[in-house]
């Protein structure tokens, strides 16, 4: 029977979800940063698409400059935020996996396969990214009504269409997932450092 010492209780023979939650608890700052960046990115992206749709309808051209300014701001935030989020996610997963070579060795020694190791390290970025993305979509819907109303268009669009919410959320989460999955797959193939006696203690019980 394999038992893990107090320093590695979070990787005891529990499921992937338990190990994933333990990893998020051990490193809360990258998770918080990732979530906040994705929240801003999703909000700006939804608002940019909504404004673009609204601008195609008939409206008073006096407000053209105002709409253009809104679009430029939202697009800038969306593109910059998406680039930063992909960079942050890929960097965090790669650095975490390299720093946790001993931890990967413990996971493998208690029966975790490459797919489970990949899920653990990709999930540490995907979970906060998904939360931030969904929160950003919700925030954008709250901000959309006063923003669209202030544009004074006559197209009648005063809320974000549901398909915009779905498309933005799926696109951003999908790109973030790819950015997290690639380094996570590499981490599962790392030559893991062997667990030390202080990290992992094996006891054989005779029946």
Instruction: Taking residues 10-20, report their average pLDDT.
Output: 62
Distance between CA atoms of 90 and 95, rounded to whole angstroms?
A: 9
**Rounded Cα distance, 73 and 86, in Å:** 20
Our CA angle for 98, 103, 106, nearest 5°, is: 140
Distance CA 150, CA 4 (A): 60
Give which of 182, 170, 145 is closest to 160, Cα–Cα.
Answer: 145
C-alpha–C-alpha distance, residues 45 and 165, integer Å = 9
Query: What confidence category does residue 102 fall into, taking pLDDT thresholds of 50, 70 and 90?
Result: confident
**pLDDT(83) > 70:** yes
Q: Degrees (nearest 5) of the Cα angle 25, 32, 137?
A: 125
Alpha-carbon distance 138 to 136, whole Å? 5
- Expressed in angstroms, the distance from the first to the final Cα of the chain is 11
Confidence band for 64, pLDDT divided at 50, 70 and 90: low
């Amino acid at each position: 029977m394999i038992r893990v010492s107090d320093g590695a209780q979070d990787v005891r023979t529990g499921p992937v979800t338990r190990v994933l939650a333990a990893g998020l608890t051990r490193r809360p700052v990258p998770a918080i940063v990732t979530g906040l960046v994705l929240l801003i990115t999703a909000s700006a992206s939804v608002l940019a698409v909504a404004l673009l749709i609204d601008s195609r309808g008939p409206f008073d051209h006096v407000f053209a400059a105002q709409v253009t300014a809104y679009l430029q701001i939202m697009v800038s935030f969306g593109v910059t935020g998406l680039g930063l989020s992909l960079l942050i996610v890929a960097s965090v997963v790669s650095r975490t996996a390299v720093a946790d070579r001993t931890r990967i060795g413990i996971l493998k020694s208690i029966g975790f396969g490459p797919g489970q190791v990949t899920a653990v390290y990709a999930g540490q970025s995907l979970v906060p990214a998904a939360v931030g993305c969904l929160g950003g979509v919700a925030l954008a819907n709250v901000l959309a009504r006063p923003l669209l109303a202030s544009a004074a268009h006559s197209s009648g669009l005063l809320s974000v269409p549901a398909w915009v919410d779905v498309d933005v959320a799926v696109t951003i989460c999908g790109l973030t997932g790819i950015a997290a999955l690639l380094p996570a797959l590499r981490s599962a193939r790392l030559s893991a450092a062997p667990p030390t006696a202080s990290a992992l203690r094996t006891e054989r019980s005779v029946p």
